[in-house]
Amino acid sequence: MRAVLQPERTWVVTDGDRLVGTAAGITLRLATPGAEVALCGVSEAAVLPSHRRRGILSALLAALHDDAEARGEPAAGLTASEGGIYRRFGYGVAARYQSLVLDASRAAEVAPLVAPEGGGEVRVMAQAEAAEVLPAVWERHWRRRPGEVRRTPGMWVEDALDPPARRGGASARFVAVHHDRGGAPDGFLVYRIAQDFGAGGTRHELRIESLAATGDEVEAALLRFAAEVDLVATVTWHAAPTDLGLRWRLADPRAVLVTAERDHLWLRPLDVAACLAGRRYAAEGGLVVEVVDDRRPAAGGHFSLEAAAGGEATCDRTDRPADVAVRAADLGALLLGGVTWSALGRGGLADERAAGALARADALFRPGRAPYCGTDF
């Protein structure tokens, strides 16, 4: 915890000499479609059960949001333990993940239409060497996926500790690193083995904990490596991207089973104009968005978004009538393209004020790939 938390961004509430509530901000960078923004990562938010419903969490989050705004961070984000808490504080679900089970015996792939470039190899690496390699690979990886964050040095320290209590009955961590034809690391897979010596033979489970890759073929090579580890019957990935290319590469698509899908990254806009200007767009055009922010009314208002050729955009406050209107939490869900404006419109959460505005917004906000965050904080 000392490695991860920043004391100057850690808040507590006391009742006499008792610690009854905590919340912490972590200085992060968030990948957005084609760009990145500063992010206040909200962590360690907790209130003693004996002190619930006294406004403690509200006070802690307000303090964190004020601090983030003063630091020039346009958004706050968190990976929620519970799903029913944070919408009322202005957070919306920006990225989801799926839990997958792959039958390794049925993981044969179809022949690609375009053959990938040859070369490269996967090596299993000792932990001491991995401590140097993994952060460097992550620096080349995280901006490729909207929703991912730049991990801090302390996060790598925490991961490397690998206490047995976090292993879920499986082995210590293994690290496999992909190297390009020139020998440079360009991807990694962190996994564990849960042994199963059944009556019918060895059926170990390989559990993927983290995967990073600088390209789609590197990702495919690492997943292929996982499926081919000796004595492994199933590969499980508790938190995989929702648009993983693997399922489309398999000759038998039933080899992959989705066992769950749930929310992961929640985002809360603090500076709407900076959030909207801090990403790239899929089309040219303009849109006036009204944002209703019940918790921080001054943060809401009307905003004029203008996207140019190439995807760069500007956004400023305006007095012009709104084309569409959403609450702050729903804008948080929309920022990375994890949900369409039309879907929220059908749910009554986006109000179309000008004819065709929701369709225009969908065209603008369409991401190149589904948002995903493989980092807990």
Task: Write the CATH number for 332.
Answer: 3.30.1050.10
- Judged on CB neighbours under 10 Å (0-12, 13-18, 19+), 48 is middle
Average pLDDT over residues 246-265: 95
115 and 225 assigned to the same domain: yes
Largest CA distance in the chain: 72
Q: Distance between CA 61 and CA 68 in Å, rounded? A: 10
Question: CA nearest 42: which of 53, 33, 31, 30?
Answer: 30
Inter-CA distances, 196 with 176, 206, 232, Å:
22, 11, 9
192 and 320 assigned to the same domain: no
The predicted pLDDT at position 280 comes to 98
Residue in this structure with the two tokens 């199963």, named with its chain if needed: 196
152 and 70 assigned to the same domain: no
pLDDT at 114 over 80: no
Question: What is residue 109's DSSP assignment?
Answer: B
Which of 55, 90, 125 terminates a domain? The answer is 90
Q: Distance between CA 255 and CA 227 in Å, rounded? A: 11
Identify whether 370 is part of a domain. Answer: no
282 and 222 assigned to the same domain: no
Per-residue pLDDT band for 199 (boundaries 50, 70, 90) equals confident
Average pLDDT over residues 216-232: 96
Q: What is the pLDDT of residues 309-336, one digit of tens each?
A: 999 999 999 999 999 999 999 999 999 9
Q: Distance between CA 360 and CA 265 in Å, rounded? A: 25
Q: What share of the chain is helix, strand, coil (3-state, %, to 5)?
A: 30, 35, 35
The predicted pLDDT at position 363 comes to 98
Number of domains in the chain: 3
Identify whether 375 is part of a domain. Answer: no
Coil, strand or helix: which one is 91? coil
Q: How many residues does the chain have?
A: 377
Q: Distance between CA 238 and CA 259 in Å, rounded? A: 9
Question: CA nearest 9: which of 31, 34, 41?
Answer: 41
Identify whether 2 is part of a domain. Answer: no
Per-residue pLDDT band for 115 (boundaries 50, 70, 90) equals low
86 and 206 assigned to the same domain: no
Identify whether 176 is part of a domain. Answer: yes
> Do residues 103 and 234 make contact, with C-beta atoms less than 8 angstroms apart?
yes
238 and 116 assigned to the same domain: yes
Average pLDDT over residues 105-117: 84
- Residue span of the structural domain in which 43 resides: 7-90
Which of 195, 227, 261 terminates a domain? The answer is 261
In degrees and rounded to multiples of 5, residue 125 shows phi and psi of -120, 140
The predicted pLDDT at position 117 comes to 67
Q: Distance between CA 242 and CA 374 in Å, rounded? A: 11
Question: What is residue 57's DSSP assignment?
Answer: H
Coil, strand or helix: which one is 270? coil
Average pLDDT over residues 59-67: 98
Average pLDDT over residues 329-345: 98
105 and 218 assigned to the same domain: yes
The predicted pLDDT at position 119 comes to 73
User: Within its chain, how far is the Cα of 171 from the centroid?
Assistant: 26
Which of 65, 90, 115 terminates a domain? The answer is 90
pLDDT at 211 over 80: yes
127 and 251 assigned to the same domain: yes
55 and 180 assigned to the same domain: no
Residue type, 100: L
The predicted pLDDT at position 3 comes to 93
Give Cβ neighbours of residue 106 (< 8 Å, ≥ 6 apart).
250, 252, 254, 255
For the chain, the average pLDDT equals: 96
> Do residues 208 and 239 make contact, with C-beta atoms less than 8 angstroms apart?
no
157 and 140 assigned to the same domain: yes
The predicted pLDDT at position 239 comes to 97
Give Cβ neighbours of residue 70 (< 8 Å, ≥ 6 apart).
none
The predicted pLDDT at position 141 comes to 98
The predicted pLDDT at position 136 comes to 97
The predicted pLDDT at position 198 comes to 81
Identify whether 376 is part of a domain. Answer: no
Per-residue pLDDT band for 116 (boundaries 50, 70, 90) equals low
Identify whether 106 is part of a domain. Answer: yes
Sign of CA pseudo-dihedral 140, 146, 151, 155: negative
User: Within its chain, how far is the Cα of 88 from the centroid?
Assistant: 21
Residue type, 285: G
The predicted pLDDT at position 118 comes to 63
Identify whether 343 is part of a domain. Answer: yes
pTM: 0.95
> Do residues 260 and 99 make contact, with C-beta atoms less than 8 angstroms apart?
yes
Question: CA nearest 176: which of 118, 138, 220, 222?
Answer: 222
Cα of first residue to Cα of last residue in the chain, in angstroms, is 11
222 and 323 assigned to the same domain: no
Task: Write the CATH number for 37.
Answer: 3.40.630.30
Identify whether 371 is part of a domain. Answer: no
Per-residue pLDDT band for 150 (boundaries 50, 70, 90) equals very high
Q: Distance between CA 61 and CA 91 in Å, rounded? A: 11
